[in-house]
Amino acid sequence: MEQEVNIVNKQVITGYLPDEKPQFIKLILFALQQIVVMFPATVLVALITGFHVSTTIFASGLATLGFILITKREIPLYYGSSFSYITAIASIMTAEQFAAYSHNDKIAIAQFGIVMSGFVSIVAGLVIKKAGKEKIDRVLPATVTGAISMVIGLSLAANAMGNASSIPAGVAEANIPIAANYAWVIALITLLSTILYSVYIKKGTLSQLPILFGLITGYISAMIIGGISGIPFITFDTIQSSGVFNLPIFTLPIPSMAAVFAIMPIAIATIPESTAHIYQLDIYVNDLARKKNSKEYDLAGKLWLNLVGDGCGDIISGFIGGPAGTNYGENISAMAITRNFSVPVLTAAAIITMIISSFTPLINVIYSIPNAVIGGLSIYLFGVIAAQGIAIIIEKEVDMFSSKNLAVIALIFIVGLGGTYGFPGGMIPIFGTSFPAIATAALSGIVLNLVLSIGEKH
């Protein structure tokens, strides 16, 4: 069914509601636009964590299809890799206890934690369906979720700065100092251009692509600097293959309690994000529905279903070798600007993404992105994650003069950041074993908040 145009007060209203399907050519163009929006962040997670880029791209498409089917094609959201899990996944990929494992086996171990993290979202969704959102708000108030978000972003600061100063492999020892200087130049060009694009491009679809534009600017600068200096910041032969098309590398999860403890609790921090997305989407979709004199879409009432779909997306992605993820705010923003909330468009985007993942030349182009460019983007993106934590606290009007709130936030900050930077791999040694800093901070904050809330009236 296509319902693109309606006339209200002599004004032409264009746009697509969730159950509306554009004509084929428009469908493909709109799908490509959604892919462009989600691509940079999804690929960046793979590059930072060491997961296979082609598998990550394929997994985002397959998980999106799973989400759409599980939510009965009623919720227009795209599933992509989440930055929130980077530290937890990295703690597994770099852990000494897995040092002797192959790269793919390390990914497989992390996969188990990712799959299990999906059940956290599913359980949260079922709890909300039965008891209401108020239960989640008591366990996860803004005091906890805001602080966790800030710690996640700040715990990645060292990764961002390390990538920004990274030089290509094989550089002669005598050229290392100048190569490091050039890497900083590339990182700064990427960072500043991304910031300028995000601040000064304010209208239209282009305003939703500052990360992509920043990446392209940094990439071009790396090509120019590499061409002048002779330092190989960009190479195109990472994947050696005689064929143009090759299936991604799929791996199966390897059971590991270390991965469960490191990764599974991070799902707690993504639940508030998914909740905000569905409420935001509800406002946009119903605004268009009213203008088109269409039925109302109760997306807010499907919060529980959104979380169940999100958890199933993690399970699907993790089972084949992709990182943990969430529904993407970038895609929601693009949909809001274009007023295109068509679920068939997102379905097409997911299918096209899976096809792209098997195109070897494109994957080699993605692998050719210099670490310095990734570092420049990361400085901005990881800082924004931390800033979003501040936004949660402000939006929910958290009383920062409350001793209880200060105690919870203080505990999360120090355990999370102190554990991340004070111990190898961000694993806190306690009572003969080790616990991941971010997960320990989150669980400690939740428990302390519940204990201090005993006796309070709701």
Domains of the chain: which residue ranges?
5-452
pLDDT tens for 365-400 read: 877 888 899 889 888 888 887 887 888 788 778 899
CA distance 62 to 356: 12
CA distance 329 to 346: 14
How many residues does this entry show for the chain?
A: 458
State the residue for tokens 């791999």: 425
pLDDT tens for 251-295 read: 999 999 989 988 888 887 677 677 777 877 887 888 888 888 888
Q: 354-359: long-range contacts (C-beta < 8 A, 24 or more apart)?
A: 354/57, 354/58, 354/61, 354/62, 356/35, 356/57, 357/54, 357/55, 357/57, 357/58, 357/61, 357/248, 358/54, 358/58, 358/245, 358/246, 358/247, 358/248, 359/244, 359/245
Burial of 427-452, coded b for 16+ CB within 10 Å and e otherwise, reads bbeeeeebbbbbbbbbbbbbebbeeb
Strands 433-436 and 427-430 come out as: antiparallel
> Which helix or strand (DSSP H or E) is residue 11 part of?
strand 11-14
What pLDDT does 343 receive?
95
Task: Return the DSSP state at 245.
Answer: B
Q: What is the pTM of this model?
A: 0.71
CA distance 414 to 410: 6
- On average, the pLDDT of the chain sits at 85
Q: Which residues pair with 435 in a beta bridge?
A: 428
For helices 24-49 and 371-395, angle between their N-to-C axes, nearest 10 degrees: 100
CA distance 317 to 397: 35
Helix (H, G, I), strand (E, B) or coil at 96: helix
What pLDDT does 7 receive?
45
- For residue 205, what pLDDT band results from cuts at 50, 70 and 90? low
